[in-house]
Amino acid sequence: MRDTRRLRLPRLSIRLLPGLLAALLLPLGRPPPAGAPAAPRHATAAADPVRIMPLGDSITGSPGCWRALLWNRLQDAGHTGVDFVGTLPPQGCGIAHDGDNEGHGGELVTNVASQGLLPARLAATRPDIVVMHLGTNDVWSNIAPDRILAAYDTLLAQMRESNPDIRVLVAQLIPMNPATCAACAQRVVDLNARIPAWAAGAHTSRSPVVVVDQWTGFDTATDTYDGVHPDASGDEKIAARWFPALAAQLGSTPGDPGDPGDPTLTCTASFRSVSVWQGGYQAEVTVRNTSAAPVRGWTVTLRPADGARVTQVWNGALKSAADGTATVADAGWNGALAPGASTAFGLIATTTAGPAAPAATADCAATPAS
């Protein structure tokens, strides 16, 4: 995507304190001047901050104002021991924040992988956590999901070579509907449907891979200014989706100062086709608790591709909507999941599509154990 974003001041609910702004302008490594108030120590502050790399394209970096909102959410919630890192400097947004990032306008993830661009960036920044929204330009270029996910494999291997304990938050991409690409909207859906299964296969206990659903609830008509790049409303939604998943990776999780309706992203759901026949298919969805705490229940929102409709579910409770969205809750006996534990439910779907492999976008919300 062309890096044509205009600089703008996002609509913010954050009030900047003069003392905070002054502290941010101090040169790194120097003590505050005599008489300046000492910065408070919060729950996740530490001598060695957690290094977080925002990785992506122009949605992340030009100017990527969701990063400013996310950084301030973390600060306001007490997660002050963090350092956003990247080889690119801040790019505006009109609000004080740690603006270092790795959001290169126009980049394709397939090019980043094939040209070996990431290792030098990792060596220069040494991230502990990567927050990745990458692949929109590949979708625009009509690159197949298989190639995009193969590039994800390459990048993840490079991340783990740099840091075997690295943690990766990977986004299901925000929708796109540019005037010059009528097919792009469905291409995003098709890629997003594949990401949970990819993440489940890539996840390890030492180097977890967590899917964050940035697609659901995002409207290109109201949350972008060109069908692709987020406006102020879109930036707020993106930050709200990243926050709980990122906070969960930071250990103790103070209260979110943001909206009470923010999603609880403590589990993932991965879709797998089991068998296909004319007019339908059978599939399985694996639900995994990716948080550090047990959960006592889960709900999966499933959006089958190509107009398919879920008609039957076992090991779960099904509720279908008129638009084809299926909501599946746990069956009671399989709702409680320890950290890292998983369960699965099966389904039957009908479809009028051809022989293409079944696919679906699945996101998961879990109820923490009290």
Give the Å distances, CA to CA, from 348 to 171, 274, 322, 326.
27, 10, 17, 12
Write out the two tokens for 216: 């659901």
Nearest to 349 by CA among 286, 288, 269, 271: 271
User: Along the chain (370 residues), what's the average pLDDT of each consecutive run of 10 residues?
Assistant: 39 36 34 38 56 97 94 91 95 89 97 98 97 98 97 98 96 95 94 90 90 89 95 93 88 42 64 90 90 83 89 87 82 82 90 78 78
pLDDT at 261: 41
CA 216 to chain centre: 11
pLDDT at 47: 57
- CA atoms of 8 and 235, how far apart (whole Å): 12
- CA atoms of 127 and 54, how far apart (whole Å): 10
pLDDT at 3: 40
Beta carbons of 84 and 70 less than 8 angstroms apart: no
What string of DSSP letters covers 322-361?
A: TTS-EEEE--STT--B-TT-EEEEEEEEE----SSPP-EE
Write out the two tokens for 26: 């101090």
pLDDT at 223: 94
Beta carbons of 54 and 101 less than 8 angstroms apart: yes
Write out the two tokens for 22: 């002054």
- CA atoms of 137 and 351, how far apart (whole Å): 30
pLDDT at 43: 38
CA angle 190, 110, 174 (to 5 degrees): 40
Write out the two tokens for 185: 């909207």
pLDDT at 355: 60
Nearest to 163 by CA among 118, 132, 197, 218: 118
pLDDT at 2: 39
Beta carbons of 174 and 59 less than 8 angstroms apart: yes
> Per residue in 58-74, is it b (16+ CB within 10 Å) or e — as a string?
bbbbbbbbbbbbbbbbb
Q: Where are the alpha helices (DSSP H) in 232-290?
A: 232-249
How many other C-beta atoms can be found within 10 angstroms of the C-beta atom of residue 15? Answer: 8
How many other C-beta atoms can be found within 10 angstroms of the C-beta atom of residue 219? Answer: 13
